[in-house]
Structure 1
Amino acid sequence: MRLAKGIVIEKEKTFGQLKFSALRREVHIQNEDGTVSEEIKERTYDLKCRGQGHMIQVSIPATVPLREYDYNAEVELINPVADTVANATFQGADVDLFIKADDIVLKGRPAQPAGNPQPQKNKLEILDLIV
């Protein structure tokens, strides 16, 4: 069983304060022959979640650049959705819950579009504009 669009989450009530911990894993795409390719499908991060009282894992698409924030930096999720996967067993079902989001950003900073980061001018370009 899968929920068609997942469960939309009210961030503040569900998570409270979120703090960045680390990259947990990268999920790679499988080739047609079943071998693992070098292409990354998504990245999963560990976040400390005050609202839940424990560490949570959040998956972000690979189109978003690798997030390497300072340990314990306060972050927020962009468009988080909870989803479930249920597998039937002889005594009922095993249900796993997972969280996906469009991005993880530092609290109070706007997200940049995935795969389209804003170009930053270096010091030489700025000096050229002044002269």
Structure 2
Amino acid sequence: MRLNEEIVIDNEKTFGEVKFIGAVGEVMKRVDGETTGDITSRRYNLKSSNQERVVTVYVPVAVGEKNFPPNTVVELVNPSINIIPNVQFSGVQLNWLVNVDDIKPKNVSTRDSAPKQPEKPQEHNGDKK
């Protein structure tokens, strides 16, 4: 049993600063309880300052593999949560799946991060006598 719609969440309020830890694995497509070999998504572990724990997120396979250095500050693109209840004899256990459209390094700009070279004074041929 799943919810019909995912819960859309606010990145900053829910996760705070998020740091990349690494890949956890791949999720394979299943048909009639058997895996087909087709990868549907990849799982990554991230550190969340607001959750104060490791959060596993699922990224669509079409986005490609993510391989950032550990502790790279990243941002989650369009995060949402899917809740999957698992009914057992003793009660219900809820599993939370955090789905994102992508994981990107936060505030990275090659132009801004490159050291600036001092400008050389321009010489004018007409100034010398």
TM-align CA RMSD: 2.0
Following superposition, the deviation at residue 93 of structure 1 comes to: 1.1
Distance 1:95 1:104, change over 3 A: same
What TM-score do you get using the length of structure 2 for normalisation?
0.77
Question: Residue type matched to 1:3 in 2?
Answer: L
CA distance in 2, matches of 1:41, 1:100: 12
Q: Secondary structure at the match of 1:12?
A: helix
Matches within 5 A, 1:1-131: 1-30=1-30, 34-37=34-37, 39-108=38-107
Following superposition, the deviation at residue 78 of structure 1 comes to: 0.3
Following superposition, the deviation at residue 91 of structure 1 comes to: 2.8
Question: Residue type matched to 1:11 in 2?
Answer: N
Q: Alignment identity in percent?
A: 35
CA distance in 1, matches of 2:86, 2:39: 26
Following superposition, the deviation at residue 94 of structure 1 comes to: 1.3
Mark the structure with the bigger radius of gyration.
2
Gaps of 5+ in 2: 110-129
Gaps of 5+ in 1: 111-131
Q: How many positions carry a matched residue from both structures?
A: 109
What TM-score do you get using the length of structure 1 for normalisation?
0.76
Runs of 4+ in 1 over 3 A off after TM superposition: 30-33
CA distance in 2, matches of 1:105, 1:45: 12
Following superposition, the deviation at residue 87 of structure 1 comes to: 2.0
2:74–2:105 contact (8 Å) kept in structure 1:
yes
